[in-house]
């Protein structure tokens, strides 16, 4: 008979899936002492797609009912998942997120270009401007 509660020693973390140069993460619940890539997963409670889609969005889906259940049962939440949940409104926003947003605002006010766009979008804009120059000549 176990001495502790049912969910002691559980962790809510990201497990990387997907292909090379195309990451995709599952938000999983598993034993805290296991490897997220090879260990047994108790439950998958969400997913995170860090690649920007055509609407310039990064997609996150979370089953908040199951998240509340495991969090109330004592499961620890890893830093990356905590950051995502802060952006979604489940937790308070991380101070690092606020500092990063302030720095980005200062860069925009100074007229600098942010490096948040994927390289293929920057390349596309460069090619578009070169084509426009050739058309005007």
Q: What is the pLDDT of residues 23-48, one digit of tens each?
A: 999 999 998 887 877 778 899 999 99
Question: Taking 80 as the threshold, does the pLDDT of residue 53 lie above it?
Answer: yes
Q: Which fold has domain 10-93?
A: S16 Ribosomal Protein; Chain: A; (3.30.1320)
DSSP string, 78-113: -HHHHHHHHHHTSSPPPHHHHHHHHHHHHHHHHTPP
Distance CA 82, CA 12 (A): 9
pTM for the model: 0.69
């Amino acid at each position: 008979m176990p001495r502790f509660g049912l969910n002691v020693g559980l962790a809510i973390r990201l497990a990387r899936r997907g292909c090379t140069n195309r990451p995709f993460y599952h938000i999983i619940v598993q034993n805290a002492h296991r490897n997220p890539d090879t260990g047994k997963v108790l439950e998958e409670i969400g997913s995170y797609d860090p690649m920007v889609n055509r609407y310039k969005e990064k997609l996150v889906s979370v089953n908040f009912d199951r998240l509340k259940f495991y969090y109330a049962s004592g499961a620890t939440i890893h830093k990356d998942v905590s950051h995502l949940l802060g952006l979604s409104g489940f937790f308070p926003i991380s101070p690092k997120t606020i500092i990063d947003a302030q720095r980005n605002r200062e860069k925009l006010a100074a007229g600098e270009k942010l490096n948040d766009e994927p390289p293929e979008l920057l390349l596309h804009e460069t090619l578009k401007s070169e084509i426009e120059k050739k058309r005007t000549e």
